[in-house]
Amino acid sequence: MRVKDSTTRAVAILIVIALLLAGAGLAISALSDDSTDGTDPGSAPTTPAGPTVEPTPDPGSSDPPAPDLAPFYSQQLDWEECRDGFECSRLTVPVDYAAPGGATIQLEVLRDSADDPSSRVGSLVVNPGGPGAPGTSYAEQASQVFRSALTDSFDVVGFDPRGTGASAPVDCLSDEGMDEFLRADPVPDDAEEIGDVVEGLDEFWAGCVANTDGGADGIVAHVTTVEAARDMDVLRAALGEDTLSYFGASYGTKLGATYADLFPDKVGRLVLDGAVDVSLDSVSLSLGQAAGFERALTAYVDNCVEEGDCFLGDSTQEGLDTIAGVLADLDENPIPTLDERELTVGTGFLGVITPLYNRDYWYLLDQGLETALEGDGTTLQLLADAYASRNRDGSYADNSTEAIYAINCLDDPFAVTPDEVPDYVPQFLEASPTLGEVFAWGLIGCDGIRVESSEPDREIKAAGAAPIVVVGTTRDPATPYEWAVALADQLESGVLVSRDGDGHTGYNSGNDCVDAALEDYLVDGTVPEDGLEC
């Protein structure tokens, strides 16, 4: 199973905290509330107004990589006020870069202007990962995600990558269908449950084609990372920037590294935080995440035991066994929640892993597990809702849980059949004795995809690019530290910064050494020492 490697999970949990403290008790508001600009994430967007296709103020920044892309590279963004104090616009890009004269889509773009115009450096394009998380919501949260050194100096610009958010979103299931999809047993126990999982995946992939604009010939076949990276270069030109300054977190590091490989001469100051090893195949990526979450879960239990009187047990192994037991019990007997839904093993698993993205939220996992042991699944359900961007009314604030499948499986359609899963289980249990089987069964996820990518695999080196800073955290659950070391080595100009700590990504996580290094680099261009340990 490839779980979301997205920094938006941590921001979403902030909303869970607020609701828990307020005693709201039902479900959560999602991180990205598209109702603020009247956009339904499940339909074709209509607002705000699109760009004017005119020469940019700086023609040198808009040189297209091919003549037939000139109309896209000559766009100017028409900014309109949106979402209570921000500016939004639309960027037009081709559905298929191999046929730029064909169908087009519009990408949602949001700008949070520099707080100190006198010290403005330029535009900083940001992406929170996922894949599938809306970048506009990330930019909207700039004052929480980034420190003042960056928000003073940059217009923080986020865009919803193609197929996500309000940018021609992939639509695979109804809200009720997504609820059912997430409730499914991630480790089916018998032929009937295996059949249910296979049928659910088949309905998912059929729905992606049937419900998304253009069907199999439309955007659903063109949501690859390579195509999203090409979109970023069109955005760079529309912003009037000669080179791209970029902050990508989680999967956003893969997007940024792909951009650097495609457009090395346009690389400005790139930070890739919580890095993905872009050389790994699907099995290796899943094994890495399994090990990462086991490492994070072990650190969580270690802390509980060290503090004394741990409700999970007197030793780390006892604590891990207790958590495994909670999930096993949910498999047999789902438990009630305050909103009349039942917490199943599927949503229980999501509830357990979500607080591991940020050490500050471990107390929520305490609360979720303690109440689950008492027969109340409300808190773990709330945490699972945060992971899936599920709103209090049962709707979904964005399509990230659908888009992650579409993007990952176009990038790499590898899948195994249910009959083959047992062959993989031993190595996954070695990587993660507590959660490994879930990740092993996740290898069937791309089985049944109805479309093929038009973009071939590429070896990413970014030859000739300016220095690119790669950040890794030693106990990162979603993007293991080893991935950052590998990516920094693969990029010819990669510079590694290491944070010793827990949680997902390194910037603005309480480590002054990391924060200063990245801010000095982005604002002043001072490249950190390669191998800096913080």
* CA–CA distance, 220 with 212 (Å, rounded to integer): 7
Cα separation of 18 and 328, whole Å?
30
Catalytic residue from among 153, 167, 250, 286: 250
Alpha helices in 135-281, H assignment, sequence order: 135-140, 142-145, 148-153, 175-183, 191-211, 225-238, 251-262
460's tokens: 């990413």
Q: End-to-end CA distance of the chain, in Å? A: 31
Which entry of 155, 171, 412, 476 is annotated as an active-site residue? 476
DSSP string, 59-126: GGGG--SSGGGHHHHTEE---EEETTTEEEEEEEEES-TTSTTS-EEEEEEEEE--S-GGG--EEEEE
Is 453 an annotated catalytic residue? no
Task: Look at residues 485, 344, 389, 364 and name the one whose alpha carbon lies nearest to residue 160.
Answer: 389
Q: How many residues does the chain have?
A: 534
Cα 533–291–506 angle (5° rounding)?
A: 30
Catalytic site includes residue 250: yes
Helix (H, G, I), strand (E, B) or coil at 232: helix
Q: Which of 137, 412, 504, 509 is catalytic?
A: 504
With vertex at residue 481, the alpha carbon angle to CA 479 and CA 482, rounded to the nearest 5 degrees, is: 105
504 is catalytic: yes
| Closest by CA position to 27, among listed 330, 375, 383, 353 | 383
Instruction: Report residue 510 as tokens.
Output: 């309480």
* Burial (0-12, 13-18, 19+ Cβ within 10 Å), 314: exposed
DSSP 359: G
Positions annotated as catalytic residues are: 250, 476, 504
